[in-house]
Structure 1
Amino acid sequence: MRPELLIKFERGTGKDRYVERLHYGFITVVDENYKVVFSSGDDENSPFPFRSAAKPLQASILIDTETHIHFRLTGEELAIICSSHTGSAKHVALIRGILAKAGLSPDDLQCGSHAPLDKEEAQRLIKANEQHTSPHNNCSGKHAGMLLTCAKMGWNINTYLQPDHPLQQAIMHNVKELCMLEQLPMTVTDGCSAPIPVLPLKNMGIGYLNLILDDKYRNISLAMTQNPYIAGGKGRLDSEIMNAGGGNLIAKVGADGLCVVMNISERNALIVKMTDADMKARSVVTIESLKQLRWLTESAVATSEGLAALYDREIKNLRGTTAGEIKAVFELKDSVAVKHS
């Protein structure tokens, strides 16, 4: 693989600037004909773990089995099933409510627990001398959706994370079909203990195209675009993109430098993968790509408090003084940009 230099961190001012950090990665844009219309860096079609960016595709099983109808899932509930949420009080309440619909409890979740990313909820737990629980896990929505599907289908809820469980087999079959893979994808274990598929970046984009453009799965796209902060949280890259996208952009991040953005009207999918997993670099590269593609305007980024913070390229010291700059050093080819001129 040959990743491309995408971001430079330079410290200093004026002419006295020195490169401090270099961030490499891949940018891929896939169109509705499944053609790569832009590719930055040569990934040699190598497979990468889909991580949490796979969640909307994993949620397709709820639609196929009509679990969302059986349990009368709301848009917010479907959004959190597709999410990597921040563990706010509202997120936790939604998870508990989803489980209760099937007579389940947080004890049935096998995702493990971590402190909430939401600062307000984290402080509340500390003040109340309470421990974080499995619903605070940012993957608990996905797990709740998996358990609900098992309850609907009569599948064993105790072994739902086993790769040979009928739930996981059905999910991987959907991934194969949606992502147009020749065979079932290889799987590895995610941080939340669930199996995740491993596939090339191009096929990740194809998966989003086939999912979002299929009316059968319209409830998924509506849930995410209409509830962007349920599908993530304040300050989350994917949530802020969807909030600024006016219902036209669907975004989902994945751990270790991954982000997928689907433009519904343009029928194109953008995939960003930072090889060093740096979150700030991922944010700048993704937002810069959206600007160059004209999926988001300069004004849309500047007027969005969340996006402006994520795209902020000033390096500041502890006194708030500018000490350097973050530079995007890539430019999308005319083969993509000309379509939007």
Structure 2
Amino acid sequence: MTFDASQTAVVTYRNGIVESTHRAHIAVVNANGKMLHAFNDPHRLTLVRSAAKPAQALAIIATGALERFGFDDGDLALMCGSNSSEARHIERARSMLAKVGVDESAMRCGGHAPLSDAVWRDWIKRGFEPTPACSNCSGKHVGMLAAARAMGASIDDYHAAGHPLQLRVKHTVAEVCDLPDDGVQWGIDGCNLPTPAFPLDRLARLYAKLAHAADGDAKDARGQALAHIYRAMTTHPELVAGEQRFCTTLMRAFGGALVGKVGADGSYAIGVRKNALKNADEAIGIAVKVEDGNVTALYAIVAAVLQQLDIGTPEQRAALRAFDRPPIRNTMGVETGYLEVRGDLLKP
């Protein structure tokens, strides 16, 4: 079997036989958007899905909702996260609802199976039926309810594309990515909120700005808000994802040196502070999109990019070992294959 090696980032083997290949695109930029490294099409129009949550949270912060309703850094981290529906996530979402003075019926997302296999097994055992507060996007929804209320706008349709809050979110997302409003396209996400699509390198630029702000290099109100988001996510990585999830494992391992967030269907973004980089005087952003949406391939690519850019220590990168070349096992636990990332993902 042959494949286009110029576009393939990951190959899966079974007994030495190529079983599947995964195309990907990568962009690495600085906070000003200068392209530092790329693989395939770094400008691919990408529905970034939940990787956009920090930008959406930026719009929430601008309404004054955090101060009005007494949200802390853990609450902000949940707004930026795709949580595993663990008990602590559900409890925090309900606590946030109480701060706003609304109940779950106001949330315009549905319950669904959790992202955590352990939580799913527990729910099945207990016959538990998930409610809106169990959504992996619960934090974002409660944050937007709070923002709509802080704006004096209706909360009944806070999720609708034409709602004043969503118009503000759309402008904020475009602006922080250095795009005109019409430079961002919008769809509807799995959680029923608008979700943006823009060039992949602009996602990398967003995360570079988060890391740049965390370095203290942004002094305006927006820079301070970006630094606040970075601090919340890296201080509470367990609220951004959950136990044994890649985002939580990554941010715990790097101890505040970087922020990372997954987006559904194969997108990922990382912002790296300058002190975690070798011979660099500014923060960088990394964005990855896997064409077929394979998350196993995505995490392996992200781990490989960190390795190839020599980000962090060997001990920090070792924390990602379960993701960087995961074995394939059958139902009897027999290893039948493995996933391999090509060795030259980046070029200047």
Note if 1:323 corresponds to 2:336.
yes
1:306-321 matches, cutoff 5 A: 307-321=320-334
Q: Aligned equivalents of 1:20 and 1:282: distance in 2? A: 17
Note if 1:197 corresponds to 2:196.
yes
Q: Which residue of 2 aligns with 1:94?
A: 92
Q: Aligned equivalents of 2:261 and 2:134: distance in 1? A: 19
**Any conservation in 2 of the 1:86–1:116 contact (CA below 8 Å)?**
yes
- Describe the SS at the equivalent of 1:59: helix
How many residues were matched structurally? 326
Q: Which residue of 2 aligns with 1:105?
A: 103
Q: Aligned equivalents of 1:132 and 1:119: distance in 2? A: 14
Residue type at the aligned position of 2:123 = L
Q: Which residue of 2 aligns with 1:338?
A: none
Residue type at the aligned position of 2:270 = V
Name the TM-score, length of structure 1 as normaliser: 0.90
1:193-232 matches, cutoff 5 A: 193-212=192-211, 213=213, 214-232=223-241
**Any conservation in 2 of the 1:57–1:208 contact (CA below 8 Å)?**
no
- Describe the SS at the equivalent of 2:14: strand
Name the TM-score, length of structure 2 as normaliser: 0.88
Change (3 A) 1:21 1:30: same
Q: Which residue of 2 aligns with 1:290?
A: 306
Name the % identity: 33
Q: Which sections of structure 2, spanning at least 5 residues, go unmatched?
A: 214-222, 275-281
Residue type at the aligned position of 1:187 = W
Residue type at the aligned position of 1:199 = F
Residue 3 (structure 1) shift: 7.6
CA RMSD of aligned residues (A): 1.8
Equivalent of residue 155 in structure 1, options 153, 156, 175? 153
**Any conservation in 2 of the 1:249–1:261 contact (CA below 8 Å)?**
yes
Residue 264 (structure 1) shift: 1.9
**Any conservation in 2 of the 1:31–1:267 contact (CA below 8 Å)?**
yes
Q: Which residue of 2 aligns with 1:79?
A: 77
Deviations, residues 171-222 of structure 1 (Å, cap 9, x unaligned): 1111111000133322111111101111000111122233442223322111
Q: Which sections of structure 1, spanning at least 5 residues, go unmatched?
A: 336-341
- Describe the SS at the equivalent of 2:310: coil
Deviations, residues 26-77 of structure 1 (Å, cap 9, x unaligned): 011011231111110025x342112000001100022212211111211111
Change (3 A) 1:127 1:11: closer
Q: Which residue of 2 aligns with 1:34?
A: 33
Change (3 A) 1:234 1:60: same
Residue type at the aligned position of 1:53 = A
1:1-341 matches, cutoff 5 A: 4-12=7-15, 17-42=16-41, 45-184=43-182, 185-212=184-211, 213=213, 214-265=223-274, 266-302=282-318, 304=319, 307-333=320-346, 335=348
Q: Aligned equivalents of 1:164 and 1:324: distance in 2? A: 49
Q: Aligned equivalents of 1:333 and 1:132: distance in 2? A: 42
